[in-house]
Amino acid sequence: MRKIVISGPQPVDMLDVAGPFEVFKLASKYEVILASSGRSSRLELNHGLTLSDAVPYSKLVGQIDTLVIAGGPGANHGQYDVNYLRWIKESASRSRRVAAICTGAFVLAAAGLLDGKRAVTHWDYCDQLSRQYPSILVESDPIYLRDGSI
């Protein structure tokens, strides 16, 4: 089974977690793991909801097929735990592909994974992503982009 890891700085948008979770869970060849960005087994969602079956990111080892970083209020403020960013960068090196949902692109940018790459985020945040990370070629029109394994 291919391992899919979905995470994001808390709180994450419910849709950014639930959408990819549902898609990959319906495909029988994937094991889907929710990873908290902290030390607890709780993944806080926007609107005050919490998922309680997450795995603390520091406990995830081994090969990952797809690493998905969700956006949301926790991704929008630009202040990230350096250990979490280090884990994202290290996990990306052992992942076949890496994806960000909406403002999760800011987290990938902060981890240095988008330097020199084309990227897109939620249309309302494209200018901000471009200003904060001038080494990224931000394109505001596409719904999604692929640049290499990202």
Closest by Cα among 69, 75, 117, 59 to 89: 69
Is residue 139 one of the residues assigned to a domain?
A: no
- Sole residue written with tokens 């902290």: 38
* Rg of the chain over all Cα atoms, to the nearest angstrom: 14
Range of the domain at 98: 2-114
Looking up residue 36, the CATH number of its domain turns out to be 3.40.50.880
Domain membership of residue 126 (yes or no) is no
Chain segment 100-116, per-residue pLDDT in tens = 999 999 999 999 999 99
Task: Enter the pTM of the model.
Answer: 0.96
Report pLDDT digits (tens) over 56-82: 999 999 999 999 999 999 998 888 999
In a domain, 63, yes or no: yes
Residue 145 lies in a domain: no
